[in-house]
Amino acid sequence: MRKFTTLAMVALLAACKPAADKAPAAPETAAPPVPEAKADGPAAATTAVSLDGEGLRFIDKSSGKASLLAFGVPRAQAETALANVAGQADDRSTNDECGAGPMQFTRYDAMTLNFQDDKFVGWFLGNEPGAAAYSTASGIAIGTTRAKAGESVSIVDVEDSTLGEEFSIGTGDNAIGGMFAAPGAAAKIDALFAGVNCFFR
């Protein structure tokens, strides 16, 4: 989303550039750079975060031991757990008009945690700085191609989705959803999500 915004701003600036035969205008202001991901929480060096259809799994890098941050835990617990790895949250927001009902969000770089009634109910990972820090247990991540993902998991296309090239890994309540940037085997994953999200279908 940030990439799209930056490109749109650059395009608008280019369109507003004066013709060569006119008096020069004030210098153009460059679009602000997209900030680098932090991933500077106190446990960032020792803990990895794995994407899961039941929530997020925190994995000790030395022992391999995993613990699940399950959907349904209190908001404060979920925020503290992710901040311990990802660092301070970038922002908190609210949308009262989500298809699933009013929701609240806390964003850490590319990862957004979703809340309803002060409970952790879903997550959304976008194609933004910091996305590379997350993958599923089978190695599926932002940027993975359809062909590569299909080698380790079963990709189920969501027919007639209003979200674009939508797919799911697994079925039922514990499925992980996603979107490819384009059709075809070479298309890369542009977003991943699970649980309750603010989608309008």
Q: What is the pLDDT of residues 58-73, one digit of tens each?
A: 999 999 999 999 999 9
Low-confidence ranges of the chain (pLDDT < 70): 1-37, 201
For position 36, what pLDDT does the model report?
A: 62
Distance separating alpha carbons of residues 185 and 92, to the nearest angstrom:
36
- Whether 141 maps to a domain, the answer reads yes
**Inside any domain, residue 21:** no
pLDDT value at residue 201: 62
Query: Would you say residue 67 lies in a domain?
Result: yes
Q: Is residue 20 part of a domain?
A: no
Residue 152, domain member (yes or no): yes
138: nearest Cα among 157, 151, 129, 126? 151
Amino acid 98: pLDDT:
94
Task: Give dist(CA 201, CA 179) in Å, integer.
Answer: 14
Q: Is residue 99 situated within a structural domain?
A: yes
- Give the count of domains, the chain: 1
18 within some domain: no
**16: phi then psi, degrees, rounded to nearest 5:** -90, 0
